[in-house]
A and B are shown apart, each in its own frame.
Chain A
Amino acid sequence: MRRLLAERGLTVNRLGGVLGNVTAVTAGALILIFLLLVLTSDDPVAATDALLSGPVSDPTRVTQWLGDSATLMLTGIAVALVFRVGQFSLGAEGQVAMGALASGALLLHIGGTPGSWVVGLLVGALAGFAWGAVPGVMKAYGNADEIVSTLMLNYVALFFFAFAIKEWLQPPNAGFAVSDFYERNAWMPTFGESPVVPLSLVLALVLVIVVAYLLARTRGGFEMRMAGSNMRFAAAVGLRVRRSVWLSMALSGAIAGVAGAAIAQTETHRLILGLSGNFGYDGILVALLAANRPLLVPVAALAYGYLRTGGDIAQLTSNTPRELITTAQGVLILFVTARFTGAGARLRDLVQRLRARRTADSVSTAEVR
């Protein structure tokens, strides 16, 4: 682990520096958020308190935070994997739904069998793999723009998810689009009472390490990274570029599929409309926050999960409007990304270059005499 970290250029010292920076930036963002809340909320102190300390204020809320973070970790690492190969997939949302649907459809039939929860996860992974492979193959062999295809496939997946529940899985007596509850054997195990630590959190951490290992230490991962760094170079030195593209997108789908299955098997214990709950899109955020570095994904997921849960609680306990909470979250994320991620570095680089350019231009546009 330490060697892996060191190879990624993260020595303990540097990690400490990063954390120090994070504190400074977060403090800046918090002041701005508080000012926002002062301007709009009847009780800004309570709203700020709920937003910031809500997730740890009681064990149930800690449970929610850990559960959400586990899901975010899964979707985050799924998205980070694709990004590392230089592809911009937006498809995690649909893959979460397809994973949940496939695992649910099976578990509603065989859920009584001991250990069936494992089968549920595997089937979720398989469905996500297949669903992710579609835009992957389209990109690799047909050069179809993956941003468009993954986004469109999300709609297909989400509407099919709703349709499947209403048409086939909804019990006659249910007033809205839900399936029956899974049987106990289909539930994913959890540890502890209050707070509850879900097994999905452990699974997420394991998958993060697997992806980190895949990228850093395997031949297939090497090819993926090279393709992500410079596609023309990867092709010119004879690496399997097409395979890297479709396989990474399919593997990413598999992880997102597991996330979907895990949500249903851990939290809802049935299929329910809106189950994917934006976790797929939030995974993009997590990946960006982690600068696509697998080993930073857990940190980013826990941090973002905290913010997400805090936002939910602030809405419930104060009269702060939802829009404002989202704005406040946006401010915090903006601060962090502008300071730490590759996108931020590129932005700073651009600003500097523009400045240099302006000096050079003032040169050429300056009037003679």
Chain B
Amino acid sequence: MVDPLDTSAGSAGVASAGDPPAPRLQVEGLCKTYGTVVANRDVALSVRAGSVHAVLGENGAGKSTLMKMLYGVERPDRGEIRVDGQPVRFGSPRDAIAHGIGMVFQHFGIVPGLTAAENIVLGVEPTHHGVLDRAESRRAVQAVMDRFGLAVGLDDKVGEMSAARQQRVEILKALFRGAATLILDEPTALLTPQERHSLFDAIRQLTQHGTTVLFITHKLAEVEEVADDYTVMRAGEVTGSGSIAASSRTALVKMMVGDAVTHSRRASAPRGAPVLRVESASVRGGGGRVAVSDATVDVCRGEVLGLAGVEGNGQLEFIEMLAGLRPLAAGRATLDGAPLGGGENRRARSLGVAYVPEDRLAAGVAADVPIVENILANRIGSGGFSRFGRLDRSAMRREAEQLVERFDVRCASIEVPVGTLSGGNMQKVILAREISADPKLLLVAEPTRGLDIAACARVHEQIARAAETGVAVVTLSSDIDELLAISTRIAVFSAGRLVRVFEQVEQLSAAELGGAMLGIGGDAEREEAA
């Protein structure tokens, strides 16, 4: 559960008793350009030993470039990097590692077929007369795990582990190589909320043992939860830095996005007549197990119903059933009286269902196809823009131009492949496509996964506008704050059952909603938070 007020946890860590002489890591006047693009301009950064330092910024702000220079992957054009006060020059990551800097990339560099222990010692294996010494490997890895209080199953195959476990293997790998400063690149991108919390616990463990942690993110809630200090970047430059305890969320947002609109808006239309009725619905998930059982809910015109639940509790299967991607196993669902839930996606669409899938690249777009065809695909599929099977290209272009304008898609032209767009613009293309089909029911799974603050606000705005024109919206998000910000009602799934519907979202707290998701009574959770 995200509690925005709780920022005390990390900052207590290793308090400096009499200021240390030099920061663990310091950067001054760092510049890096790629061609004509300035990725970093006069960047300064100072990281205290034993602290958790967050580097904040929107996508493309230059955070990753900075980290790559700190890890020797890229070389700065100008500027200086100092480790413990000593100027250093990294020709390759090897040099960075020699100075005690380790990095965990967003996409892990592990060998799936090997065990955790084998991965951790890979390349630096202890040997005995030239032969791998397995016992010694295990002992050495165990020693590192004990020292930092981080555990993984040493003999488990890494390929069979969850993303969170794989990440832990990566962290151990860096620690095993003597990293005293750990750089984590968007470490929470692939994690579920629960896994996120255990990662933060691990980070605190590390700092208690003297490790310095530098992590990149654009999620403020995470920063407030775990970081001591911050440095904010925007468009390649540092726009602010300081201690988290002495800063406000609004100030941080302002530093990150400048004047861009960032607040999310809830739809403000009065709730209309019920459009979607679901009665005692059961849905089977992957492998034939029952994912949803006996769910009953009505959704009305003009409302945004948020589906909350810990991942894997049936909310995704529920929305996929409505989208016509999974059939109903029992019960019934009707849209304006017409039966839904036959598992026929084309039929669902013809009845007025629109669907934004959770995995944008896998199911939301055809990445190598131009924007114009992506943005109109659903309407072409139902017979639009064609006469006797012949496509009207000029009508298509006109409509696509208008949609790109209306939904503020930033692109060079409507003919560029949609895969070349940023995640936020790609999501706008998908929303434009689904909303422009004039649906009665709009299903949005994970509206803003991976998007930065400004892009989130634009996506939320589009969802609110759709609801205000009388569309019934059902959305699902693993981000509780997002659900609280945009839903007008929230339905909670737990173990495949729709356990609770919160009618008054304005008065709902994250703690209360989180408690309901875990099946804990709201009151108990409130006490715990207090």
| A contact set with B: CB distance below 8 Å | 217-220, 222-223, 225-226, 229-230, 232-240, 357, 359-369
Contacts and interface: CB of A to CB of B under 8 A. Distances in A.
A226 B173 contact: no
Most buried by B among A218, A236, A239: A236
B391 A237 contact: no
Contacts of B364: 233, 236
The 5 closest A-B pairs by CB, nearest first: A365-B123, A363-B93, A229-B366, A238-B349, A366-B94
A229 B365 CA distance: 9
Given A229-B367, A364-B109, 9 more contacts: A217-B391, A233-B365, A238-B346, A360-B93, A361-B123, A363-B97, A363-B103, A366-B93, A366-B123
Given A230-B365, A365-B123, A219 B98 contact: no
A363 B94 CA distance: 5
A365 B346 contact: no
Nearest to A220: B389
Contacts of B355: 236
Interface in B371-426: 373, 377-378, 380-383, 385-386, 389-391, 393
B200 interface: no
Most buried by B among A220, A222, A362, A363: A363
B433 interface: yes
B391 A366 contact: no
B345 interface: yes
A229 B369 contact: yes
Nearest to B102: A364
A359 B363 CA distance: 32
Contacts of A232: 362-363
Contacts of A220: 389
Contacts of A367: 123-124
Given A233-B363, A359-B93, A226 B98 contact: no
Contact of A363 (B92, B178, B367, B380): B92
Most buried by A among B97, B174, B325: B97
A219 B391 contact: yes
Contact of A236 (B93, B105, B363, B386): B363
B88 interface: no
B84 to A, nearest CB: 16
Contacts of A229: 366-369
Contacts of A239: 377, 380-381
Contacts of A361: 109, 123
Contacts of B75: none
Nearest to B360: A233
Interface of B: 71, 73, 92-94, 97-98, 103, 105, 109, 122-124, 173-174, 177-178, 323, 325, 345-346, 348-350, 355, 357, 362-369, 373, 377-378, 380-383, 385-386, 389-391, 393, 433
A134 to B, nearest CB: 25
Contacts of B177: 364, 366, 368
A226 B73 contact: no
Contact of B98 (A225, A230, A234, A369): A369
Contacts of B94: 362-363, 366
Contacts of A226: 366, 369, 373, 377
B122 A364 contact: yes
Contacts of A362: 92-94
B51 to A, nearest CB: 23
B378 A217 contact: no
Contacts of B123: 361, 364-367
B444 to A, nearest CB: 13
A230 B357 contact: no
A19 B220 CA distance: 53
Nearest to A361: B109
Nearest to A342: B368
16 contacts: A223-B380, A226-B366, A230-B362, A232-B362, A233-B362, A236-B345, A238-B348, A238-B350, A357-B109, A361-B109, A364-B174, A366-B93, A368-B97, A368-B177, A368-B178, A369-B178
Contact of A368 (B105, B124, B323, B368): B124
Contacts of A219: 380, 383, 385-386, 389-391
A223 B93 contact: no
A364 B173 contact: yes
Nearest to B100: A368
A238 B357 CA distance: 13
Contacts of A237: 349, 377-378, 381, 433
B386 A233 contact: no
A365 B97 CA distance: 10
B377 A366 contact: no
A365 B348 CA distance: 52
Contact of B367 (A222, A230, A360, A369): A230
A358 B131 CA distance: 24
Contacts of A235: 345
Contacts of A222: 373, 377, 380, 391
Contacts of B366: 226, 229-230, 233-234
A240 B346 CA distance: 8
B174 to A, nearest CB: 8
A217 B109 CA distance: 44
Nearest to A218: B389
Contacts of A240: 346, 381
A229 B368 CA distance: 7
A362 B96 CA distance: 12
A367 B355 CA distance: 50
Contacts of A225: 369, 373
A229 B393 CA distance: 20
Contacts of B346: 238, 240
A360 B123 CA distance: 13
